[in-house]
Amino acid sequence: MKKFLFLLVALMLVLVGCSTTNPSLKDTWLNAVNQTSSEAKLTLSADVNVDGMNLNDEQKKIAELFQDGFVIEQKAQDEKNVYMKITANNDQPLRDLGVWTAKEKAAAEMLVKENVMYFKTSADPFFFKVDMDELNNGQDFNMQSQYEMQQKVMEFMKGEFKNYIEQYNYEIPKLQDLGFKTIETPAGKEDVLKVKYELGINEVLDFAEYTVDNLANYERLDVFVKEFAGFMPAEVQPTEAEITTAVTEAKTQLGQFKAMLSGMTEESLEAMMGKDIDFKISTEVGISKKKYIASEDTVINIGIKDPVTGEKGSAVIKATSLVWNVNGDVKLPEVKDAVNVTDYEKDINKVRTLSDDTPIKKLFMQEFNASFTIGQPFAILGSDFKELDAAPYIKNGSTMVPVAVIGEWLDSETKWDAKTNQVTMKVNNTEIKLTLGSKDAYVNGKKVIMHTAAESVNGRTFVPVAFIAKELGAKSEYNAQTQEVKIYFE
């Protein structure tokens, strides 16, 4: 609990560290707290010098992908109704890696409307829909209530951030007022006040020292922690005494951190790390007459060199953004065609109808991979971990796995008839009947002879994995070294 509360305080520190409070900028951040609707476009890239960094081919392709960068488009009517699209400026590295094969340029979209989320890639002809109300049916974990709680926490954090930033008076050194300039946005031209600043290591250290000290002495810190703790489930809520202790310890640690930062310089930091460091942030911000940040251009230069070995690395990170239509009438994309994700999660035949070009098909196919380990009472079913009543084993050369677990994984109907000692499992259009102690199985009424008879262990029916995989249209694979058997669909 104490560590959690301290991390929470650290989170506030990070949030503050993303803002500045000079007179020309402070109002913009206060207005941002109350901002509802807006549209934005962000271009982000990172040029990483990989010479001498011993990167493999895959890592080099990823570096190439980030070097050309991404365009992120956002629309928001409010916190519950938002849209985002991410497009790779150059998707060739993804194609070289085999991640992207579609003729369309690589892009992904996500739309959230209240409690329904839609997502697709540019290779998909329709959106996939996730309805939290449907996911909640029959589930112990209520995603909708968790989502509503998150909204309340976010609203609380916004209010507390506003309280905090109002008393935060850090002055950026050498802030330049560039006067009014005209920028182009998708909504047209806009006159903005341009301000510019540059931060090196010493300026960042000074900023961090001020922020840590300011947060340690924030008069509402105990109130914030107490009110935040109120969002926790009743069974884990801390007592007044625990909150007081946690806040006291957080302030003490912040004070110690401030003492460590005090007097630290670029030279002392390099000596401590044993590296030569080059670091500079250059930012130019455009403030609209309505007091919101309409444009921002940031360049971060990072360089690290080992003076002993001569090894070095560097990166140039660039971010350019535009914001418009703030608190205006923002229209989100309309969704005409959408398919329910739950219709695909348990139906391999539906997944197979998707284009091989879409990465979403690959994600769905991963849910139809299962793995068991000989002698271990657990299984990995798609992305889920499943404890077993009895561990898989080998008999007469056959790897035996629990048929009911496979049925549960594939959302099948599995029935047990105590009178006949018979198990019936139906997956999609395939019905399999097994009888304990018999090698005879019936698949859609046709007799099939198994290599090893079905048998019961701890009340669970076990069958040869090769048989069950083949009859369900899957494949099986056994690794003698790891003792792992896999079932997968193609």
| pLDDT tens readout for residues 176-233 | 989 999 999 999 999 999 999 999 999 989 988 998 998 888 888 888 888 888 888 8
Q: Is residue 324 a contact partner of residue 39, using CB atoms and an 8 Å limit? A: yes
- Identify the CA nearest to 6 among candidates 257, 262, 264: 257
Q: How far is CA 379 from CA 370, 426, 454, 487, in A?
A: 7, 21, 19, 11
- Those residues with Cβ within 8 angstroms of residue 299's Cβ, 6 or more apart along the chain or in another chain: 281, 282, 283, 316, 317, 318
Q: What are the helix (H) ranges across 19-130?
A: 23-34, 57-68, 92-96
Can you tell me the distance from the alpha carbon of 73 to that of 367, in angstroms, rounded to the nearest whole number?
30
Q: Quick: pLDDT tens for 129-160.
A: 988 766 655 454 455 566 677 777 778 887 88
Task: Count CA atoms closer than 13 A to 91's CA, side-chain side.
Answer: 18
Is 368-488 CATH 3.30.457.10?
Answer: yes
Amino acid at 218: Y
Q: What is the full DSSP assignment across 236-297?
A: GPPPHHHHHHHHHHHHHHHHHHHHHHTT--HHHHHHHHTSEEEEEEEEEEEEETTSSEEEEE
Q: Is residue 83 a contact partner of residue 110, using CB atoms and an 8 Å limit? A: yes
Model pTM score: 0.78
Q: Is residue 33 a contact partner of residue 26, using CB atoms and an 8 Å limit? A: no
Which residue, chain included where needed, has tokens 């494949």? 475
Can you tell me the distance from the alpha carbon of 238 to that of 28, in angstroms, rounded to the nearest whole number?
36
Residue 325: strand, helix, or coil: coil
- Identify the CA nearest to 195 among candidates 266, 286, 91, 267: 286
The token duo for 134 is 């449907």
Can you tell me the distance from the alpha carbon of 168 to that of 15, in angstroms, rounded to the nearest whole number?
12
- Identify the CA nearest to 12 among candidates 254, 296, 281: 254
The sheet with strand 293-305 has its strands ordered as: 176-185, 188-200, 276-288, 293-305, 312-324, 38-49, 70-78, 81-88, 107-113, 116-121, 127-131, 338-340
Torsion 178-180-182-186 (CA) sign: positive
Can you tell me the distance from the alpha carbon of 68 to that of 440, in angstroms, rounded to the nearest whole number?
60
The token duo for 10 is 């650290």
Which residue, chain included where needed, has tokens 């790390």? 273
Rg (CA), the chain: 29
Can you tell me the distance from the alpha carbon of 298 to that of 320, in angstroms, rounded to the nearest whole number?
6
N residues, the chain: 490
Residues of the chain whose pLDDT is less than 70? 1-25, 50-53, 133-147
Quote the pLDDT of residue 12. Answer: 42
Q: Quick one: CA torsion of 74, 79, 81, 83, rounded to 10 degrees? A: 20
DSSP single-letter state for residue 480: T
Torsion 19-23-28-31 (CA) sign: positive
* Run of H or E including 453: none
Which residue, chain included where needed, has tokens 């609707």? 37
Ranges in the chain annotated CATH 3.30.457.10: 368-488
Quote the pLDDT of residue 318. Answer: 95
Can you tell me the distance from the alpha carbon of 364 to that of 367, in angstroms, rounded to the nearest whole number?
5
Quote the pLDDT of residue 4. Answer: 39
- For the chain, how long is the longest CA-to-CA vector? 88
DSSP single-letter state for residue 354: S
- Identify the CA nearest to 12 among candidates 216, 243, 151: 216
Q: Which residues of 312-334 are buried (b: 16+ CB within 10 A; e: fewer)?
A: beebebebbbbbbbbeeebeeee
Q: Is residue 338 a contact partner of residue 127, using CB atoms and an 8 Å limit? A: yes
Q: How far is CA 2 from CA 200, 212, 340, in A?
A: 34, 18, 42
- Terminal CA-CA length for the chain: 46
Which residue, chain included where needed, has tokens 């196919």? 365
Quote the pLDDT of residue 14. Answer: 39
Quote the pLDDT of residue 91. Answer: 93
Can you tell me the distance from the alpha carbon of 404 to that of 454, in angstroms, rounded to the nearest whole number?
12
Can you tell me the distance from the alpha carbon of 22 to that of 32, in angstroms, rounded to the nearest whole number?
15
